[in-house]
Structure 1
């Protein structure tokens, strides 16, 4: 049972990352909320290094694959993210903001590691940032006024990828804290899936009319 749940989680989250890269490139935007992306990238980078300190392990390889995928998603954010922001956000401001967000992601992970130790930190940080991501996906849908840069595949795979470790750590390993966080993740994830299904069911004209256009930058005259 433990192995099955671990495999389901690993495959589902890999699908999330691959689909996020594909959708981000397709829609010329980023497909994962940036605060959650920063925490994910930091988590996977730190714990990949930790796993490989004791030799090659299946979890270390999975973490490394996820970290590489996060680099690609981060590239879509850096490439297209400024177009999602108001005009006053210059390149310098966008760069400074990005450094702050990703630096904070690493700082938060190190604080978890220092306070809880590796065993608990990996679980507590993962589920808390997962809950944050679940809420931010709904906020992303609202901010973009529709499903641009989003995907039902991402939503369903994220839900399944979180539900499996919720059962593993919350039920099998009997952790009420993780079980509670996992249940809340499922509530938000199912709500997000419902939003995307509702958007699919809407007439084509109403789906496109509500999406926020990406601002265009004036071309400087020569």
Structure 2
């Protein structure tokens, strides 16, 4: 039963990553929080180097898909990430990514050694917990659902529930890991954090849809790029200097900073 649940969780995880990568390229962004992505990569590297015992015989092939998925999302982070941090220069952004990779490269093995976990269960599930708690802040910083979607979130929730059942109910006795209170806390925390993330995602999506309808811009107009920059269509009238009045207004109007408030 343990192998069956792990294979199901791995399959839904892979599907969610395919959708995450697709959504990232469509929205020109990345769909996994920065620190959690670096922690996933750190776990993948240790697993590829043979630091963990395989949970099931087929885990090597499934883990290979994880490595490919994380590599593509990390590419999206490097390409699209700087625009998500307008207050940082590109050099500062890449320095932050390097620092996050260095931190997780030491944190993951340190946790494994402290817990004497040669299977990597606590760090794998703990990374998921960090990711789920980081998604609401990702939504807050962007103010929209770019790079994210309801199907991806539901697949992540299904992955967490199935994996939690496998570890808490069907953990093999030959594993040198016990179902400790810490592991129970991580599994329950992942589920609760994912449900909170789903609620926030639904709220932001609903607020964005309401704002789009209020502005009079249809989704088709946005997709084709024919949507006006404001709710009113201005007639171009030449001014005394020969410049159209709407052009003059735009040239002297400061660009507002992106709001960091939650959509209402």
What is the Cα deviation at residue 39 of structure 1? 0.2
| Equivalent residues in 2 for 1:77-88, closer than 5 Å | 77-87=77-87
What is the Cα deviation at residue 187 of structure 1? 0.9
Conserved? CA contact 1:82–1:94, under 8 Å: yes
Could you tell me which residue of structure 2 aligns to residue 115 of structure 1? 114
Could you tell me which residue of structure 2 aligns to residue 218 of structure 1? none
Structure with bigger helix share is: 1
Could you tell me which residue of structure 2 aligns to residue 198 of structure 1? 203
| Equivalent residues in 2 for 1:73-112, closer than 5 Å | 73-87=73-87, 89-112=88-111
Conserved? CA contact 1:45–1:64, under 8 Å: no
Q: Unpaired runs of 5+ in structure 2?
A: 172-177, 215-256, 260-264
Instruction: Using CA pairs under 8 Å that are at least 6 residues apart, name the structure with larger relative contact order, 1 or 2.
Output: 1
Could you tell me which residue of structure 2 aligns to residue 163 of structure 1? 161
- 1:198 and 1:92, CA in 2 relative to 1: closer, same or farther beyond 3 A? closer
Structure 1 moving runs of 4+ over 6 Å:
51-54
Conserved? CA contact 1:33–1:136, under 8 Å: yes
2:141 maps to 1:136: no
2:68 maps to 1:63: no
What is the Cα deviation at residue 182 of structure 1? 0.9
Conserved? CA contact 2:133–2:193, under 8 Å: yes
Conserved? CA contact 1:52–1:60, under 8 Å: no
2:182 maps to 1:183: no
Conserved? CA contact 2:52–2:118, under 8 Å: no
Within 2, Cα distance between the matches of 1:128 and 1:109? 10
Greater Rg by CA: 2
TM-score, structure 2 as length reference: 0.71
Aligned residues: 209
Deviations 1:46-79 (A, max 9, x none): 112217999x941122112101110100000000
TM-score, structure 1 as length reference: 0.83
Could you tell me which residue of structure 2 aligns to residue 20 of structure 1? 20
Q: CA RMSD in A?
A: 2.7
Conserved? CA contact 2:8–2:162, under 8 Å: yes
- 1:97 and 1:26, CA in 2 relative to 1: closer, same or farther beyond 3 A? same
